[in-house]
Structure 1
Amino acid sequence: MAFQAKTKEFTSEVGNKYTFQNVMNSKQAEIVDEGTNAVGKVLNAKMMPLMLKHVVVSPAGLTMDEFNTWSELEEVTNEAFTFLRKGL
């Protein structure tokens, strides 16, 4: 079976719209390896930019500093990570 990208539309609590797209399993493994420590704890300073770069495809090119609040940044990147892991 060939990889077929899935997308998900997401609206944050403050009403901003985002589109997520999953990545191939090999890329997902790289992202998880890079964004977690030796015992699997997520490192926000590494994982959040990875989610914004590889999973959040619209709006494209977001950085952590473009969010008005930590709350929305955390909400969006957590939802993107859940989508990446579960495809839901």
Structure 2
Amino acid sequence: MANFAQKQFTSKAGNDYTFQFPGVRQVTKITDRIKNKFGGASDEKLSEEMLSHVVVEPKQKMDDFKGPSGYKELGEVVGAAYAFITGNDEKDESEEDSKDAE
């Protein structure tokens, strides 16, 4: 994957987002910063990191997501952004490609 690659993402609510890969060093720093004292990921820290460093369009903060549907969308966007920077979304794309070939 090239440095600073971008990916378009559309949420189930129909909102469009642009993710940008911040570089391997930055991803490593992000994965360190999101951990709590027990080594698990903190939802709040993960959300803040994804919105600050990965979601480049539209620029949003956690407080921009309103109500239960906003919380659901935040989780969807943050999860997709994290999968993108950690390379875990590539499997889904290759599976879709193989289904298209059938």
Which TM bucket (shorter chain)?
Answer: 0.7 to 0.9
SS in 2 for 1:18: strand
Q: Which residue of 2 aligns with 1:7?
A: 6
Find runs of 4+ consecutive structure 1 residues off by over 6 angstroms. Answer: none
Q: Which residue of 1 aligns with 2:81?
A: 80
Specify every segment of 5 or more residues in structure 2 that has no aligned partner in the other structure, as ranges: 91-102
Q: Which residue of 2 aligns with 1:36?
A: 35
SS in 2 for 1:23: coil
Per-residue deviation, 1:39: 4.7
CA distance in structure 2 between the aligned counterparts of 1:28 and 1:40, rounded to whole angstroms: 16
**How many residues align structurally?**
85
User: Which AA in structure 2 matches 1:16?
Assistant: N
CA distance in structure 1 between the aligned counterparts of 2:39 and 2:6, rounded to whole angstroms: 26
Per-residue deviation, 1:5: 1.4
TM-score (norm 1): 0.87
Per-residue deviation, 1:38: 4.6
